[in-house]
Amino acid sequence: MTPSPNGVSIHPDPQALVATTAARLITKLVDVQSRRGEATVVLTGGTVGIATLEAVTANPARTAVDWTRVNFWWGDERFLPAGDPELNSLQARQAMLDPLGVPADRIHAVATANEADTVEDAAADYARQLAEAAAAEQLEAGFEPLDPRLPRFDVLLLGVGPDAHIASLFPETPGVRTVGATTVAVRDAPKPPPERISLTLESINTASEVWLGVAGNDKAGAVGLALAGAGEIQVPAAGARGRTKTRWLIDQAAASQLSRRLFASHDSDTEEDED
């Protein structure tokens, strides 16, 4: 791994990337729990995202985390029937949540097509879940939230598509332009399935730390454009920023279009932590 002060860490291959990200996540959760008692993570799907969860499950250090006191949300979900193998939530349960014994009340999944009539209903229900969790958290913790509609997100994991989409926010689509809402219903996703539910960029950027895990030559162009500061409407990944840290965790192939000048000058990582 080659770390950089600008929040970009380059790993030799996807296997090293997911193993290191898993270890980093375990360390972060231990740190947050030592300070606050519990922690909140927003999960992502995709090859790297699910492989990272599998690597957490396989890591002996996982026992240092109290998994009964970690809350899990999702950055996006596909609007599919319950039990569909393409659901991000089902893949996450199989990869990590069930093996680690995470309690059901800590898992905040998006409504499936069996539970909501339309993708808009599912998005509205997810926004309601978020708001209710935020209200409960504020009552218990007694702190002033950055956004009263959202619980505190300690770490938010994202993948990046070859087109530079994040969550289900695709270039030049209404979802990436949405403001004033915590969730958005997507009906016209350019990759199947077309109906999805996503956090908005507004919600994503309330997270204390945003980690973007990316592997493969097909993602190199998207990584290069995002780190070069392209506009978020055309390159949604460019708009994802954590409040205290933004980490680009990428493999050598995904880093192939990063220029030395960009790598040296880009500053996406600030080191201060929050209580």
Element of type H or E holding 133: helix 119-141
pLDDT, residue 260, reads 54
pLDDT in the model for residue 204:
98
Residues 70 and 106 sit within 8 Å (Cβ to Cβ): yes
What is the fold, at CATH topology level, of the domain defined by 8-231+241-265? Rossmann fold (3.40.50)
Reduced to 3 states (helix: H, G, I; strand: E, B; else coil), residue 100 is: coil
- For residue range 184-221, list pLDDT tens digits in order: 999 999 999 999 999 999 999 999 999 999 999 999 99
pTM of the model: 0.92
The whole-number pLDDT of residue 5 equals: 35
Say if residue 140 is exposed, middle or buried (CB neighbours under 10 Å; 0-12, 13-18, 19+).
exposed
What are the beta bridge partners of residue 41?
A: 72, 155
Spatial distance between the Cα atoms of 268 and 45, rounded to a whole number of angstroms: 23
Q: Mean of the pLDDT values across residues 92-102?
A: 98
Nearest residue to 65 via CA among 147, 5, 155, 133: 155
How does strand 245-251 pair with strand 8-11? parallel
pLDDT of 103-131, one tens digit each?
999 999 999 999 999 999 999 999 999 99
Q: Give me the chain's average pLDDT, please.
A: 91
- 264: pLDDT strictly greater than 50: no
Give me the pLDDT at residue 275, please.
43
